[in-house]
Amino acid sequence: MQAREFKALPDQPAPVSTTGPIAWMKDNLFSSVFNIAVTVIITSALISILPGVLDWLIFSANWSGTSQADCVKDGACWVFIQAWSQQIFYGSYPDGEIWRVNLSLMLLAGVIALSFTLPARLRNKIAVPAYLLLPFVCLLFLDGSNIGLTPVSTDLWGGFSLNVLIAAASIIIAFPFGFLWALGRQSDMPFARSVSVTCIEFFRGTPILALFFMGSVMLPLFFPSDVTVDKLLRVWIILVLFMSSYMAEVFRSGFQAIPQGQYEAANSIGLGYWQKTLLIIFPQVIKIAMPNILATFVMVFKNTVFLLVIAVPEMLQVIMSALSNSNWLGGHAVEGYLFVGFIFWICCFSMSLLATSIEKKLDTSHQN
């Protein structure tokens, strides 16, 4: 018997009523009585609150001037931020030397941009060493004494640039440290394992504030009296250790998500331990752990404001001392804290966007 020919039916477009903005609104905003109620309540709340907020923030706000006396309108007094902007961003870093802070920030931005634009082949060879060198190059420039610039004591470093730079420097060093601790934690060697577990559990189980106090008050007791370790350096070390312990756990969750078959395939090809770890496991761990890696970055970045408890003049500390300045006693706390929140939010949100783009770049699981 002759077989009949099988012909697949052609694809047809979906019915119009299930696509487009009207259908979307029907599905998502007005699908049930409860949904309609929620939509109406939230919309009316926004309508009643937003105009007042926007008016205070923008339309009736005081945008120009130099002193408190210039804040005559009802709205926010942004003059306060303007007047203190240099301290807010650079602390007490000397006027003529601020280019060194800007250079450091530009180097940081440059290396990040480099790691996103370089082709994969060069990325490992150029961007990775660039990242690892960055904290030390910035340190040389900011301190200045070793490269023939005017020495600037770390007491004068401060403001938002300090939050950014110390967070970046901690993240960069904590990344490989955390990875090593995570490897150690799942190692077969009892010594490597117990050292890693102890470090991870100690630094993860201790509040960051307690660690800062320990670093600034207790650590010097252990050094000989003629040796002084700079306060900022101690803070950096503590942030690195604290963050490494979190990164180690983030990496460990990534390790556990890698199927056993990946290790077996790598073994059967004959790859050695480090080849297997760096070529096969690490790239997949990074991809899986990306959301948690970002969460840890954001956490450390935000935790830099805690430096104020040991009198490091980071951004929030500067705002607080400005608020108690005798020329600005008009109660600008709302503006000050809103501004701090806004700046941190901008930074963390851009980190989120960056991380999302990395995730997309790393995603090779797409089906046909």
Partner 1 sequence: MSVDKQSIECTNDKEIIVIKDMNKWYGNFHVLKDINLTVKKGERIVVCGPSGSGKSTMIRCINRLEEFQRGSLVVNDVEMIEDVKNIEAIRREVGMVFQHFNLFPHLTILENLTLGPIWVQKRPKEEAEAIAMKYLERVQIPDQALKYPGQLSGGQQQRVAIARSLCMSPQIMLFDEPTSALDPEMIKEVLDVMVELADEGMTMICVTHEMGFAKKVADRVIFMDAGEIVEENEPNEFFNNPQMDRTQLFLSQILEH
Q: Which of 2, 12, 326, 365 binds partner 1 (CB under 8 A)?
A: 365
Which CB sits closer to partner 1, 193 or 287?
Answer: 287
Amino acid at 281: I
Gap between the Cα atoms of 22 and 148, Å rounded: 67
CB of 184 to partner 1, least distance (A): 20
Closest distance of CB 169 from partner 1, Å: 29
State in angstroms the smallest separation of the CB of 121 from partner 1: 10
**Total binding residues toward partner 1, as defined by CB under 8 A:** 24
CB of 255 to partner 1, least distance (A): 15
Residues 259-278 close enough to bind partner 1 by CB under 8 A: 259, 261-262, 264-272, 275
Q: For residues 267 and 350, which CB has a smaller minimum distance to partner 1 in the complex?
A: 267
Q: Which is nearer to partner 1, 224 or 259 (CB)?
A: 259
How would DSSP label each residue in 266-304? HHHHT--HHHIIIIIIHHHHHHHHHHHHHHHHHHHHHHG
Based on the shown chain and the rule CB under 8 A, indicate whether residue 366 belongs to the binding site for partner 1.
yes
Among 20, 207, 283, 330, binds partner 1 (CB under 8 A): 283
Any contact of residue 279 with partner 1 (CB under 8 A)? yes
Nearer to partner 1 by C-beta: 50 or 265? 265
- Enumerate the H helices of the chain as residue ranges: 20-28, 33-54, 79-90, 98-117, 120-122, 128-143, 159-185, 190-204, 208-213, 219-222, 231-257, 260-269, 273-275, 282-303, 315-323, 333-362
In angstroms, give the least distance from the CB of 341 to partner 1: 38
Q: Is 123 in the site for partner 1 (CB under 8 A)?
A: no
Give dist(CA 287, CA 362) in Å, integer. Answer: 6
Indicate the residue among 246 and 282 with the shorter CB distance to partner 1: 282
In the complex with partner 1, which residue's Cβ is closer, 81 or 280? 280
Q: How far is the CB of 280 from partner 1 (least distance, A)?
A: 6
Minimum Å gap between C-beta 271 and partner 1 is 6
286-324 as b/e: b if 16+ CB within 10 A: bbbbbebbbbbbbebbebbbbbbebebbbbbbbbeebbe
Nearer to partner 1, 74 or 264 (CB): 264
Footprint (CB under 8 A) of partner 1, residues 287-346:
287
DSSP state of 62: B
What sign has the CA pseudo-torsion 17, 19, 22, 28?
positive
Q: What is the token pair recorded at 91?
A: 């602390």
Give the nearest distance from C-beta 357 to partner 1 in angstroms: 17
Based on the shown chain and the rule CB under 8 A, indicate whether residue 257 belongs to the binding site for partner 1.
no
Alpha-carbon gap, residue 224 to 74, rounded angstroms: 57
Q: Which residue number, 283 or 341, has a Cβ lying nearer to partner 1?
A: 283
Binding residues for partner 1 restricted to 24-53, rule: CB under 8 A: none
**Calpha distance 304→166 (Å, rounded):** 8
Cα atoms in the 13 Å half-sphere on the side-chain side of 127: 16
* DSSP category for residue 215: I
**How deeply is 203 buried, as exposed, middle or buried, from its count of CB atoms within 10 A (0-12, 13-18, 19+)?**
buried
- Residue 124 in contact with partner 1, rule: CB under 8 A: no
With both helix axes pointing from N to C terminus, report the angle between 333-362 and 98-117 in degrees, rounded to the nearest 10.
30
Instruction: State in angstroms the smallest separation of the CB of 115 from partner 1.
Output: 17
Length of the chain as a residue count: 368
State yes or no: residue 106 binds partner 1 (CB under 8 A).
Answer: no
Contacts with partner 1, residue ranges (CB under 8 A): 259, 261-262, 264-272, 275, 279-280, 283-284, 287, 362, 364-368
